[in-house]
Structure 1
């Protein structure tokens, strides 16, 4: 990984020339060879150029997971545009806000999309096979920063979504490293299951297409959690990425007896990965392949730390070691590098970073430092961690999920991991509410029980006291039918968790379900 790798689009088109008859993308019975993919990409890129869209301008692509999405994304990068992937399922107000904040000059609708028009953002419509239909395109605007390649909005799981401006060079370098690290070959089949608005979809779409492998798409339309694992098995998928919350839903609703003999690697990121989930994944699926825990905020170009899990440690798994071209360290509140074992803020420096927050210079200045000796970008993550004597990075929660009760400071993720280690508990989410009249905050545990369980496990509080300080044991235990997830990434959405009123008893089961039933 040198930073001088061919662009992502050049790598894809290279395979279109070398293996034109190999299958590039499949979705159900539909197939595109690399020759057909190249034709579609060339058609869309030519239309962008003819329409006056200039390199460096933001091109929104509104599309479901589809063959058309793959062609449109590659075409935008080939044109040296700035790709803004948008999920058609976004509420109109959210979609409109993203188009405005990103400064999109055109909205490319790929596939059979019926998206509302947005003032000032004309539409370029791409339908079906390589043929392109041009409606109208607005006047050219000034190009964005040199090297700008894509815009993604953060998940919003920890606050208001922010627009992050990524770089062509950083994405190409990351894919080159990942291909080597995973040993990806043209024989691989890689699933695209993430929402188009989640930055992981860049890896899911472009890793196979820059490797001569096959991009495997689930059937069009909503896919229920219970259908995902059977589809992975039927499609012979060899590599898949998921978020722990999503993986739990797959396991929870999967038919009995599903196995994944072709799957050789599963990549987890986005949330803390626990030993209990790893054990369930291996046991329920009879899975013998590689499990990798990954870490890296969207602000640092996908992932920056990597940890193949061999023997899981109790609780939350390490985030691992930095990948080539990256560094990670811990800083204390006075911005001093902390020694091994000390908990502080995780800081990442990489030669393959992003350009910060689009349209928010003040926040960019507060979180990023540019201009290292090798062009590195340093980012203050807001995550808390520590580095052990072996050099492994460990996660300790967000700076904003620290809780202090009766003088004891702890993190909600640690409480959740302790709950999920108890028999009968599938997933836990812990929230806080302010105390009354100066009393300490109170913790509520929202518990999703394992199939076949309908009550909180007996002796739960006593079991928790063996793992947690008394102040960290939730005072309220709420059984829920489901936990809310963000639209793009499927991460736990803490802002939508419901806290019971003081009159509600422990173990109440609400009538409404918060679980997003489809991908």
Structure 2
């Protein structure tokens, strides 16, 4: 076994005084990273935390979180990332799975807090030195599934990616992934074990203009992202000057379209686009494809298996498919995860399959695929009710279960539909129309924001088949029509007559255009996310507000002023700003300018 913290320690000892992490004005050297991590480890050990213990690392994307993760591993314990942005109920559900013996609060100086074992929760025996982390995915039972990740599997992936793409001290990687996803480990740690510098934006939510400024001022050479986020960026940066410094873009989590790649290459002309594929259960990506300069039309393949991995495509009878024929993808990884943690015991998600007379242990992904002519793998969709939005794996059954648990809901059908930039979840509810706001608040306390339906369609009774089951075909068609009608209303709103004279009228037109009018704006205290907005489309909202009103302000302001009335008041207050910018914007520009000066100094010193 090779522990991930061993790779980090070696990098810290090798690159000592080089910069490991930058985050706004904070700069952390490799030697300081090791020292600070050891301080966390010593504190955990002093409080009796060690091998077999799960430790919740709580916070937001930051240098502090990376230090804590490294420190937990140095103490021999198991990491559980807990994003502070998640609803409190979901965070408690996560921490009680296992359960976590302690937490490290990264917002308050790595404060360690011991947690008493919750009553009635079986304590798992996790005393295996290869247990590295607990990651969560959406569960079909209505609760998030906890997966025990492997030190060896994660280490091998990090070393493979670093070596395969020549990543080293000459690189500066952007850290854009939040703690909610297991790919955080790839995003944050791969550059560090390579001696590269990890650059963390000083705002939690970056708009397209902020991203451009960040990439340029920090001289970023590579990053990871999901295609839907790339699509949003491109919609706002289409006329931007090319950025030749970026040499690597790793896409994963969603289908990657050739049209997106072509536009991406225009903005980043020296960039190699890489398409990665692999579920959490197999320990990060097991396939990679270097997309050519002239990508094929449509969805890009995910390429061949990386070393130590084999993928098999099986038909409905569990037999291998001929090349070119479609079936379910089963991945046999050399070092997959250790399984699901359920009621204090590990449950294997793997199955035995027969390949040419040999028994092979593999993970049934639920993805449909086929072999391309060159041996690469093409992904064709899902065989079940699982979807991905912004790279987040979502079981529609978990969403349905959460909605069904609300007392006003008699029955519900949940499906996914294509919208402007990505898929959205639509819930067709048999229940009281007037309960939508209450239902959204209820779900917001239990689900990640990306899992809350973007649109609700209420009916007095859901249509049924003769056997008594809901008519899924009719309901899916009703959901599709609802989204299309929403898009038509949005188009009408964006082109309607002369601009309203008031800030409120102009802002409402933008809201309806971007969010699609998922709910009535009669309630001006409506939150943007209550009318169908998402963390992705709020980036578009930000760009369109700035364009409409001729102002500049950080995206984070829209999260701070999330309701319609709050944004209206915010914009009205800006009317008195002679610069057309919110207070503090000049300081932000000054920080960016200083970043460019420091960048230039680094270049001269080299």
- The TM-score with structure 2 as length reference comes to 0.64
- 2:100 aligned residue: 104
**What is the Cα deviation at residue 48 of structure 1?**
1.2
Q: Which runs of 5+ in 2 are unaligned?
A: 118-122, 387-415, 430-461, 466-470, 494-511, 521-528, 539-554, 557-606
- 1:263 aligned residue: 246
Distance 1:361 1:53, change over 3 A: closer
CA-to-partner distance for each residue in 1:70-91, whole Å, 9 max, x for gaps? 1111111222211101100111
2:255 to 269, 272, 276: 272
1:399 to 373, 380, 383: 383
2:179 to 196, 199, 208: 196
Partner SS state of residue 259, structure 2: helix
Counterpart CA distance in 2 for 1:364 and 1:268 is 30
- 1:379 aligned residue: 363
Counterpart CA distance in 2 for 1:448 and 1:33 is 54
Matches within 5 A, 1:204-283: 204-254=187-237, 256-283=239-266
Aligned: 1:346 with 2:329: yes
Check the 8 A contact 1:481/1:514 in 2, yes or no: yes
Distance 1:499 1:166, change over 3 A: farther
Counterpart CA distance in 1 for 2:346 and 2:51 is 26
Aligned: 1:73 with 2:106: no
Q: Which runs of 5+ in 1 are unaligned?
A: 113-124, 127-132, 403-415, 457-478, 484-496, 501-509
- 1:390 aligned residue: 374
Decide which structure has greater helix share.
2
- 1:514 aligned residue: 533
Distance 1:498 1:305, change over 3 A: farther
- Comparing 70-79 and 425-434, the one that deviates more: 425-434
Check the 8 A contact 1:269/1:293 in 2, yes or no: yes
- 1:300 aligned residue: 282
**What is the Cα deviation at residue 499 of structure 1?**
11
- 1:481 aligned residue: 514
**What is the Cα deviation at residue 436 of structure 1?**
4.8
Counterpart CA distance in 1 for 2:89 and 2:174 is 30
Counterpart CA distance in 1 for 2:72 and 2:210 is 32
Aligned length: 433
Check the 8 A contact 1:230/1:258 in 2, yes or no: no
Distance 1:175 1:449, change over 3 A: farther
- 2:59 aligned residue: 63
Check the 8 A contact 1:299/1:354 in 2, yes or no: yes
CA-to-partner distance for each residue in 1:282-338, whole Å, 9 max, x for gaps? 23x143310011110111111001111103222111121110000001111111111
CA-to-partner distance for each residue in 1:103-141, whole Å, 9 max, x for gaps? 1110111134xxxxxxxxxxxx61xxxxxx555566998
**What is the Cα deviation at residue 428 of structure 1?**
6.0
Check the 8 A contact 1:428/1:448 in 2, yes or no: no
Counterpart CA distance in 2 for 1:514 and 1:448 is 16
- The TM-score with structure 1 as length reference comes to 0.74
- 1:179 aligned residue: 162
**What is the Cα deviation at residue 205 of structure 1?**
1.1
- Comparing 56-65 and 159-168, the one that deviates more: 159-168
- Comparing 306-315 and 252-261, the one that deviates more: 252-261
Distance 1:82 1:286, change over 3 A: closer
Check the 8 A contact 1:226/1:251 in 2, yes or no: no
Matches within 5 A, 1:400-439: 400=384, 427=422, 436=463
Distance 1:513 1:180, change over 3 A: same
Counterpart CA distance in 2 for 1:135 and 1:433 is 43
**What is the Cα deviation at residue 51 of structure 1?**
1.1
Counterpart CA distance in 1 for 2:124 and 2:425 is 47
**What is the Cα deviation at residue 362 of structure 1?**
10
Check the 8 A contact 2:4/2:151 in 1, yes or no: yes
Distance 1:138 1:45, change over 3 A: farther
Partner SS state of residue 241, structure 1: strand
Aligned Cα root-mean-square deviation (Å): 3.9
Distance 1:341 1:84, change over 3 A: same
Distance 1:155 1:241, change over 3 A: farther
Check the 8 A contact 1:301/1:352 in 2, yes or no: yes
CA-to-partner distance for each residue in 1:391-446, whole Å, 9 max, x for gaps? 111111111259xxxxxxxxxxxxx99x89xxxx6556697989956584444174
Check the 8 A contact 1:52/1:137 in 2, yes or no: no
Check the 8 A contact 1:56/1:81 in 2, yes or no: yes
Counterpart CA distance in 2 for 1:158 and 1:391 is 36
Distance 1:206 1:66, change over 3 A: same
